[in-house]
Amino acid sequence: METLSGTVLVGRSFEPIRGRVVVDDGRIERIEEGETASTDIVLPAFVNAHTHLGDSVAKEAATGLSLDEAVAPPNSLKHRRLAAADRSTLVTAMRRTIRFMRRTGTASCLDFRESGVAGGRAPSGGGRALGFAPVAVWGGGRAGPVASPRPRRRGSRISRSRARANPCRRSLGRSTPCRRTRGSSST
């Protein structure tokens, strides 16, 4: 059993309370109000609403270029790098980005893909194996984006290592991770 103490943001409006979150086997057992010396903040994990994981292979390569030179199809630096990257290189770059997001408290993302349906079916960087579930979104012609959700099972358990990284799993009756940040001083 693990206890996280500090200011806990709870409920739909993230009301701050002083107290503890008690986690057992990756699930929140209870939230207790009470005094604590900890200056930590325990809060819901973030969901990045607009990512391009596939572009991780060209991350920061376009510094100093115009927007068209950097990302405009079909001959921008980004599109040339994507075309030249094999699957292994692409997946490795995507995994590096997913690991960074997990380390910084992001639990999931909406991942926008290039190249229509083929882009939507491109690798997700092994996100599921890393305890991270991106949702792929790709252009669907004039009708606009088409989502390809990968729903999580309701009430599913998280691994012990995931529980340590994102211990809180509670929001609007569904399981969602939370993150903990350190305050300026901790006792």
**69-102, pLDDT tens digit by residue?**
998 888 999 989 988 988 888 889 988 999 999 8
Residue 26: which region, alpha, beta or left (left: phi > 0; alpha: psi -120 to 50)? left
pLDDT value at 42 more than 70: yes
- Spatial contact of 16 and 7, defined as CB atoms under 8 Å apart: yes
| pLDDT reported for residue 135 | 80
User: Mean pLDDT score of the chain, rounded to an integer?
Assistant: 74
Which pLDDT belongs to residue 119?
Answer: 67
From 46, 45, 56, 50, select the one nearest 123 (Cα to Cα): 56
pTM > 0.75: yes or no:
no
Omega before residue 177 within 30° of 0, cis? no
pLDDT at 123: 66
- The residues spanned by each domain of the chain are 2-45+166-181, 46-148
Q: pLDDT digits over 98-149, tens only?
A: 999 988 888 888 888 776 666 666 666 667 777 777 787 765 433 233 344 4
Per-residue pLDDT at 61: 87
30-39, 47-56, 75-84, 175-184, range with greatest mean pLDDT: 30-39
Q: Residue 82 and residue 79: Cα distance in Å, rounded?
A: 5
Chain-centroid distance of CA 115 in Å reads 23
Q: Which of the pair, 46 or 116, is modelled with greater confidence?
A: 46
Cis before 74? omega within 30:
yes
Give the residue-averaged pLDDT of 54-72: 90
Question: CB–CB of 7/22 below 8 Å?
Answer: no
How far apart are alpha carbons 21 and 42 in whole angstroms? 8
Using the predicted structure, report yes or no on whether residue 43 has a pLDDT greater than 90.
no
Q: 131 or 185: whose pLDDT is higher?
A: 131
Q: What is the DSSP string of 93-141?
A: HHHHHHHHHHHTTEEEEEEEESSHHHHHTS--TTTGGGT---EEEEE-G
Phi, psi angles (nearest 5°) of residue 18: -85, 135
Residue that wins the pLDDT comparison between 118 and 66 = 66
Tracing tokens 């380390």 back to the chain, one arrives at: 103
